[in-house]
Chain A
């Protein structure tokens, strides 16, 4: 386990609640971003991030440190996102207005429109993937996780992750070609 994480986990187990706060501050952005990539709206992403840390707080006293804390944390995040989407399958759309609104606020109008269009196209393409593929893409492309770690997080073999990623990227290529060409027309 990462040395800093090990120190914080040990301190938390000794009863130092501030160590947990430090862990939350360290990982909250990443957890939120993974959730956002998977559920694609701020409120749901924030709710999932909150739930992740509640679960971590409950389970951390039993965390044995054999796995990386990061991997364990992302696994909880991905599983919660998958559960969430299973429950709200009909509502798993991309909040396109929100996506566009968030695009490069400081850029000029043309750049902003371009960035907004790109975000919209990418978000729509990523959202078109099945949830597990979406999780793998989020972890590999946006969180730079190794395939080996993604396999642990998703509970499958490294070969399965690579095959799934390959299929996902092919599908994304098709979706993006469509979306992007439509946006630029």
Chain B
């Protein structure tokens, strides 16, 4: 190890944690170099003296006041709209609530914005089976027409596929 390398390492050795192999190398150099040894001793003394000075601590009872003042100052800090929104979004539980709200809004919007239903269907459209019911059928089955109406209203009216198809009779 050269003197230059030793002096570079001295700083680490005297002020920090050094790997054992570096420490051994410096020690070996110091054994044979009086100048570096003197430099090392001076450096070590200086660091020891500086480190003997205890950490400056604030007066007793300082921290509660510090925290209160800090809280007060933070409360007065202007908060941007974006930051406020971001913080709000980050609130636990906001995500599921927001997702539910979005689903509800989409459902309501799709219901309200559904294409308008056309003009009221005429009697034939409203009851497509009616033309096929003859008087004899009505006499034999008095509740037939009523059943047909219930079926139509209960199964989606004219849009629904008919449960049965009555083929019109040929001419």
- Residue pair A142, B55 in contact (C-beta under 8 Å): yes
Q: Which residues of chain B (40-60) have a CB below 8 Å from chain A?
A: 42-43, 45-47, 49-59
Interchain CB contact (< 8 A) of B46 among A15, A46, A172: A172
Are A61 and B83 CB-contacts (below 8 A) given A122-B53, A162-B8? Answer: yes
Chain-A contact segment, one of B20-28, B85-93, B106-114, B138-146: B85-93
Q: Point out the residue from B8, B16, B50 that lies within 8 Å of A172, measured CB to CB.
A: B50
Q: Flag whether A70 is at the interface (Cβ < 8 A).
A: no
B91 touches A15 (CB 8 A): yes
Q: How far is the CA of A146 from the CA of B12 in the complex (A)?
A: 9
B91 lies within 8 A of A28 (CB): no
For residue B45, which residue of chain A has the nearest CB?
Answer: A173
Shortest 10 CB-CB contacts between residues of A and residues of B:
A122-B53, A36-B56, A15-B90, A173-B46, A14-B90, A15-B87, A15-B91, A33-B55, A141-B50, A57-B74
Binding site for B on A (CB under 8 A): 13-15, 21, 24-25, 28-29, 32-33, 36-37, 42, 45-46, 49-50, 53-54, 57-58, 61, 102, 104, 115, 118-119, 122-123, 125-126, 137, 140-142, 144, 146-147, 162, 165-166, 169, 172-173, 176, 180
A-B contact pairs, 30 of them (CB 8 A): A13-B90, A14-B91, A15-B90, A28-B63, A32-B56, A42-B56, A42-B58, A42-B59, A45-B56, A46-B62, A54-B74, A54-B77, A57-B74, A58-B77, A61-B83, A102-B56, A115-B54, A122-B49, A122-B50, A122-B52, A137-B50, A140-B15, A140-B16, A141-B50, A142-B51, A142-B55, A146-B16, A147-B16, A162-B8, A169-B11
